[in-house]
């Protein structure tokens, strides 16, 4: 694991690590495998936070509800649109 971390740290400052991976880490196949893994992990992360994103959206909608001081003695809710 420490070796992996050191390898990642060695990439700091590199503008494009693709050439390094192709030369040092197993060629184009390794680069393609890493690309697929990144996309799959991103999709998994995105789908795993759907419930959380829905709760955030609901919270933002509720936050836009403003209590308007009553003129008639009854409180009135007003929905503020962006």
d(CA 68, CA 82): 17
List, for residues 25-78, the tens digit of each pLDDT value: 778 998 999 999 999 999 999 999 999 999 999 888 887 776 555 566 665 666
- Is there a domain that residue 9 lies in? no
Domain coverage including residue 64: 17-79
- Is there a domain that residue 43 lies in? yes
Identify the helix (H) or strand (E) that includes residue 47: helix 27-48
Burial class (CB in 10 A: 0-12, 13-18, 19+), 25: middle
- Is there a domain that residue 50 lies in? yes
Mean pLDDT of 1-14: 88
- Is there a domain that residue 11 lies in? no
Which backbone phi and psi does 79 adopt, to 5 degrees? -90, 115
**What is the value of pTM for the model shown?**
0.54
- Is there a domain that residue 32 lies in? yes
pLDDT tier at 7, thresholds 50, 70, 90: confident
- Is there a domain that residue 5 lies in? no
Count of domains in the chain?
Answer: 1
């Amino acid at each position: 694991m420490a070796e992996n971390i050191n390898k990642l740290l060695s990439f700091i400052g590199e503008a494009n690590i693709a050439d390094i991976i192709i030369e040092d880490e197993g060629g184009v196949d390794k680069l393609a495998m890493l690309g697929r893994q990144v996309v799959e992990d991103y999709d998994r992360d995105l789908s795993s936070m759907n419930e959380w994103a829905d709760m955030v959206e609901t919270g933002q909608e509720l936050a836009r509800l403003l209590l308007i001081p009553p003129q008639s003695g009854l409180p009135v809710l007003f929905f503020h649109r962006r």
